[in-house]
Amino acid sequence: MSLPVKALKALADPTRLRLLALLDRSELSVHELQEITRMGQSRISSHLRLLEQTGFLRRRKEGKHAYYRLDKSADGLTPFLRVALEAAKGLDCRTADLAGLRRVLRERQDPTMAYFRRVAGRFGRTYGPGRSWQAFAQMLLRLLPPIDVADLGAGEGLLSELMARRCRKVIAVDNSPKMVAYGRRKARRNRIPNLEFRLGDLQDPPIEDASVDAAVLSQALHHAEDPAQALRSAWRILRPSGQVVVLDLLQHQFEAAREVYGDRWLGFSESELAQWLEGAGFEDIEIATVAREEQPPHFQTVLAAGRKPSR
């Protein structure tokens, strides 16, 4: 088979165009490509193997990992590569892939995030008396400074109540009149005067511009009709240097969640969250998958955070 025919065959699949576009920007491992594209390891490896055999890629080993990069000096392939990279600009996943690439490269420069992923994966495998995420969460909540917080999509307000015991003020927003009424009664009963419940939509919360130091969306974003708009609204209500924190489900295929839990979205990919946070104007974005349930359907939890610029 001639080289032009091999090249055209290799470039006939949009997935391979997608991988070439990413590897044009940076050398990446299979694991990093998984993180960006949310495709399986075997699928990615199969496509990379064909691209390498054709001559588009070079591979190098570093310990247990293999890293791939574009071979821009490959004889006779430059015109095909130029056309492939131009075609890749029209892929629907282009924007999300670039956001995912930026996230992966940021994590590469931040060993703390890589360490956190390893620790989160190990936690709970070995029993230790009194050693639990619940206990850790209670301890860390005690370290909260006296700030103003918006809990968007607060539900019955359990997290709001916990934060209010340390924060200066917590505004809990939910679109259910019953939940808001319940939360108000509970706050009065427990004598938490700095916890205020407000009826409203997390996509346009009834909170003044630049009036809180932190905005929290805990397992709420997948109920939003427009998650990107919800994050833009979080940016609106934050003061300069304020933080947004999103705790939600990683993208999954458990369709029954729409009916059982009323979910609009079947979780989110890390790349989607990165793209929306960047689009809203946040900086210093950090995203990590922090938990995986042992029982089917094995829901995973993703934690995303960003900072509003200081000016």
Summarised one tens digit per residue, pLDDT across range 173-224 is: 999 999 999 999 999 999 999 999 999 999 999 999 999 999 999 999 999 9
pLDDT classification of 6: cutoffs 50, 70, 90 = confident
Asked if the structure places residue 105 within a domain, the reply is no
Same-domain check for residues 55 and 126: no
DSSP 55: T
Q: Are residues 43 and 143 in the same domain?
A: no
Are 298 and 156 contained in the same domain?
yes
Residues 75 and 146 in one domain: no
Tokens matching residue 210 = 């630049």
With H, G, I as helix, E, B as strand and everything else as coil, classify residue 297. Answer: coil
- For residue 64, the enclosing domain spans 3-91
The enclosing domain of 37 has a CATH number of 1.10.10.10
Q: What's phi and psi for 171, nearest 5 deg?
A: -105, 115
Where do runs of H (alpha helix) occur along 128-226?
A: 133-141, 158-164, 177-189
119-149 confidence digits (pLDDT tens): 555 555 555 566 666 777 778 888 888 999 9
Asked if 132 and 163 sit in the same domain, the reply is yes
**CA angle (14 as vertex; 13, 15 as ends), nearest 5:** 90
Is 14 a residue whose pLDDT tops 90? yes
pLDDT at 112: 62
Mean pLDDT of 68-81: 88
Q: Are residues 120 and 78 part of one domain?
A: no
Could you give the dihedral angle defined by the CA atoms of residues 233, 239, 245 and 251, in that order, rounded to the nearest 10 degrees?
Answer: 30
Q: Could you tell me if residue 139 is inside a domain? A: yes
Residue 255 lies in a domain: yes
The end-to-end CA distance of the chain, in Å, is: 59
pLDDT at 169 over 80: yes
- Indicate the SS3 state at residue 250: strand
30 and 118 belong to one structural domain: no
pTM of the model: 0.73
Q: What is the mean pLDDT of the chain?
A: 89
Residue 247, pLDDT > 70, answer yes
| Total domains present in the chain | 2
Give the mean model confidence (pLDDT) for residues 158-180. Answer: 94
72 and 169 in a common domain? no
Q: Which two tokens stand for residue 111?
A: 């060993």
* Element spanning 21, H or E: helix 14-25
Domain boundary among the residues 60, 91, 122 is at 91
What pLDDT is recorded for position 115? 61
Q: How many CB atoms lie within 10 A of CB 294?
A: 6
Average pLDDT over residues 8-25: 93
Band the pLDDT of 305: cuts 50, 70, 90: very high
Residue 46 lies in a domain: yes
Are residues 274 and 155 part of one domain?
yes
pLDDT at 293 (0 to 100): 85
Q: Of 185, 220, 222, 184, which Cα lies nearest the Cα of 205? A: 220
Q: Say yes or no: 216 and 296 in one domain.
A: yes
Q: Which residues contact 10 (CB under 8 A, 6 or more apart)?
A: 16, 50, 51, 54, 56
Q: CB–CB of 153/174 below 8 Å?
A: yes
Among residues 91, 123, 144, the one where a domain terminates is 91
In a domain, 63, yes or no: yes
Beta strand ranges found along the chain (DSSP E):
28-29, 57-62, 65-70, 148-152, 169-174, 195-199, 212-218, 238-249, 283-292, 300-307
